[in-house]
Structure 1
Amino acid sequence: MTRLPLASWTTREDLARLVEALGTDNARYVGGAVRDTLFGKDIHDIDIATPLLPAEVIDRCRDAGIRTVPTGIDHGTVTAILPDGPVEITTLRQDVSTDGRRATVAFAKDWREDAARRDFTINALYAHPESLEISDYFDGLQDLEKGRVRFIGDAAERIREDHLRILRYFRFQARFGDALDDEAVAACRELAHTLKGLSRERVAMELLAILALPAPSPTIALMKELGVLEVILPESREREAESLHRLVQAERSEGIKPDPVRRLAALLPPIARIAESVAARLRLSRQQRARLVCAAERKETDAENPRTLAYYEGLEGARDRLLLQGASLSPLAGWEIPSLPLKGGEIVERGVGKGPQVAKILQAVERRWVDEDFPDRPRVLELLEQELAAR
């Protein structure tokens, strides 16, 4: 009998109150919290499975003074709002029909039936909230111990139910896998083309999640080898895949936190219009799009004047471009972007009429100020006098 190790989240008082409201026999911890605790990783989300229908979950929580939000009521999910963080409660389910993009589900009463509809064996582990005894219906514990990510049942069939499972396989393989599962790899290769039918948002979410992992390069290389990367990111070429590896090494040497948008830029050629196209296709946010395009505009000369680059592109954009080229970030360490110590009104006070001429003089002074590595105000006033004299 295997039990879930004690962890800070398993002893939460608010969680115990929620379990009491649902009834001990009506609640099991499931999925990521169980898997990651066994693997010794940090826990971010807690999920509870229950045979209770959503309406009864809501009623029981209300009677216990626990507020709920029907975050996915059509699929049986209710979120309990607790002092130490929200907890998702989902009614046991079984798939009625699937089309590769979405599933029609029916509520169920059997724990094994619910486990059978999940994707990987390591995600189908349930823990009793009091005894912490683990229910393992498909040898997920053994797979977790061996570092193997394995589909429940036939891999190709599970992918045909939901094509996104191809990308989920690579994400979990990067996190937990040591050895590849031959059946899973063959199914991903065979059905890679099915990813074309998925929404761009879902593809982007999984791709960025893979790129955010500590060491995604081997996984991206495997996706390329199997023809998966070509389907979701046809702009990527062999040289760009190698640049991701170099970027990861640069991030580590500089002590910089991994960033998926920066790493996505590494997979693309440094061409702004291509970055624009990819950002639009993946439906990235406006901020992500701007950052991806900025990274694509990188030049070899960026490393010559890192602070000038940061002044015009922002610190984040400058760091991205320098890291992508393997340049040092030391010139930016502890440095904050300064503001030009000169206002247009001061130029008007010196006899220049309001209008475009003021802006031109201000821009000329600013360019020289930047070129001289941002000197203090006395030097800026000297630059202003020189510009006024020249005009």
Structure 2
Amino acid sequence: MLRDLAEADWTRRAGLAALTAALGAENIRWVGGAVRDGLLGVPVHDVDCATTLLPEEVIAACNRVGIRTVPTGIEHGTVTAILKDGPVEVTTLRRDVATDGRRATIAFAQDWPEDAARRDFTINALYAHPETLTIDDWFGGLDDLREGRVRFIGDARQRIAEDHLRILRYYRFQTRFGAALDETAEDACADLAHTLKGLSRERIATELLNLLALPDPHATIVRMKARGVLGVILPEACPPQIALLAKVIAAEAAQGIAADPVRRLAALLPPSPEVAENVAARLRLSKAQRTRLVSAAERGASDGADPKALAYRLSLPLAIDRLLLTGHDARVFEGWTVPIFPLKGGAIVARGITAGPEVAKLLHKIEARWVAEGFPSTDRVNQMLAEELGTSAFKFD
């Protein structure tokens, strides 16, 4: 059962009332995810606004009342209004003039149903009046939302031909909102999966990681593999890796660890640093994401032997990845922080050792003993240093 949109907290934001007053209630409608999620009772962060006003008219109207705007996508009709309770993207109604599966040439429009018709799914084409919150629904999105059905607007193949990324968006939205499969959509995505090859790697990576960040995408990944979609974007993923993904998802839930899309991506890859490097490069992942993916690929059964030593050597996040991927319990880190080695080179030099390689060698030797003993206190480190130097213990800062 859908909620009354008036119950959604976001509809009572003061900034939205100010924006409505500036642009005129009959000129705008709230649209997209905020409306959909508000009806489902899901927390809403971003609010989007559709308008019959041209971008320059939006900017002028906001300027008159002191609302700052940023032309974030003005060539596509989008201006961002900077409000105290969150920015709002205001986009002029549009119609597609030409599409090539990657980008669209648009023209501004004045017709609400025409703007709705160019959107991807029926549940994303719900427009709410800013004052009455009355919802306009030209394609059965409310019924689809009630029934947990993710359905393309109009012909699924045509929608995908307009933007090939809609294949991956379909799987993400179906995972999040779908209770039953739409066979027409499933067939269209499978038949046109090859078109994903024409998209930028960054767009594919973003959608794939967004999918993997959902609570439990395993069944969707299985279906994408079976229908030939996953093989186009991630051919390295094979049944054993997909089975590992299920185990990692279950371990995260059982151990109270937040779902992480990069960790889950690592589960879908064989434990090969070379493969991880190639995938990170192909998907244009960030340096931090690449580091995590490669570290996860270096995992081994011995990772669980001394988890805290592993965390000290790698970092806590990388150690958690490795433990979950190798079937170990990462709750060993609860309430624990990676300690800092208390010995510095200056303390060794003060004992008469000339600065240089010998100091570094001694530091590494004592640090290894300290880690092996489970990070004992400074007094114990004093003892270790004394033992290595063959002298009595001393204190250092």
Separation (CA, whole Å) in 2 of partners of 1:38 and 1:324: 37
Query: Which residue is equivalent to 1:69?
Result: 70
SS of aligned partner of 1:354? coil
Q: Deviations over 1:213-248 (max 9, x none)?
A: 011111111111111111101111110001111001
Query: Which residue is equivalent to 1:351?
Result: 352
> Offset of 1:181 from its aligned partner?
0.6
CA contact (8 A) 1:3 1:133 kept: no
Identity fraction in percent: 63
CA contact (8 A) 2:28 2:51 kept: yes
Separation (CA, whole Å) in 1 of partners of 2:8 and 2:99: 37
SS of aligned partner of 2:85? coil
Query: Which residue is equivalent to 2:15?
Result: 14
Separation (CA, whole Å) in 2 of partners of 1:326 and 1:173: 29
Q: Deviations over 1:91-117 (max 9, x none)?
A: 000000000000000000000000000
Q: Which amino acid aligns with 1:343?
A: K
Separation (CA, whole Å) in 2 of partners of 1:319 and 1:67: 43
Q: Which amino acid aligns with 1:102?
A: R
SS of aligned partner of 1:48? strand
The farther-off stretch of 216-225 and 373-382 is: 373-382
Query: Which residue is equivalent to 1:201?
Result: 202
SS of aligned partner of 2:107? strand
The farther-off stretch of 377-386 and 196-205 is: 377-386
Query: Which residue is equivalent to 2:35?
Result: 34
SS of aligned partner of 1:159? helix
1:225 partnered with 2:232: no
Query: Which residue is equivalent to 2:317?
Result: 316
Query: Which residue is equivalent to 1:152?
Result: 153
SS of aligned partner of 2:320? helix
Query: Which residue is equivalent to 1:289?
Result: 290
> Offset of 1:387 from its aligned partner?
2.4
Query: Which residue is equivalent to 1:306?
Result: 307
Q: Which amino acid aligns with 1:122?
A: I
Separation (CA, whole Å) in 1 of partners of 2:57 and 2:197: 39
Separation (CA, whole Å) in 1 of partners of 2:155 and 2:8: 34
SS of aligned partner of 1:95? strand
Aligned length: 389
Q: Deviations over 1:238-292 (max 9, x none)?
A: 1000111100100001101111111111111111111111111111111111111
Query: Which residue is equivalent to 2:394?
Result: none
Query: Which residue is equivalent to 1:164?
Result: 165
Query: Which residue is equivalent to 2:339?
Result: 338
Separation (CA, whole Å) in 2 of partners of 1:304 and 1:313: 15
> Offset of 1:348 from its aligned partner?
1.3
1:253 partnered with 2:254: yes
Query: Which residue is equivalent to 1:328?
Result: 329
The farther-off stretch of 203-212 and 268-277 is: 268-277
The farther-off stretch of 32-41 and 110-119 is: 32-41
Separation (CA, whole Å) in 2 of partners of 1:204 and 1:189: 19
Matches within 5 A, 1:120-199: 120-199=121-200
CA contact (8 A) 1:3 1:132 kept: no
Separation (CA, whole Å) in 2 of partners of 1:274 and 1:153: 40
Q: Which amino acid aligns with 1:33?
A: A
Q: Deviations over 1:184-204 (max 9, x none)?
A: 000011000110110000000
The answer for unaligned runs of 5 or more in structure 1 is: none
Alignment TM-score, normalising by the size of structure 2: 0.96
CA contact (8 A) 2:4 2:39 kept: no
Q: Which amino acid aligns with 1:82?
A: L
Separation (CA, whole Å) in 1 of partners of 2:340 and 2:376: 11
Query: Which residue is equivalent to 1:374?
Result: 375
Q: Which amino acid aligns with 2:203?
A: R
Separation (CA, whole Å) in 2 of partners of 1:47 and 1:346: 60
Separation (CA, whole Å) in 2 of partners of 1:170 and 1:331: 35
Q: Which amino acid aligns with 1:375?
A: P
> Offset of 1:3 from its aligned partner?
6.2
Q: Which amino acid aligns with 1:165?
A: R
> Offset of 1:389 from its aligned partner?
3.8
Separation (CA, whole Å) in 1 of partners of 2:95 and 2:133: 24
SS of aligned partner of 1:5? helix
Separation (CA, whole Å) in 1 of partners of 2:231 and 2:70: 40
CA contact (8 A) 1:122 1:140 kept: yes
1:24 partnered with 2:25: yes
Q: Which amino acid aligns with 1:144?
A: L
The answer for unaligned runs of 5 or more in structure 2 is: 392-397
Query: Which residue is equivalent to 1:92?
Result: 93
Separation (CA, whole Å) in 1 of partners of 2:64 and 2:4: 31
Moved over 3 A (4+): none
Q: Which amino acid aligns with 1:117?
A: R
CA contact (8 A) 2:8 2:41 kept: no
> Offset of 1:326 from its aligned partner?
2.1
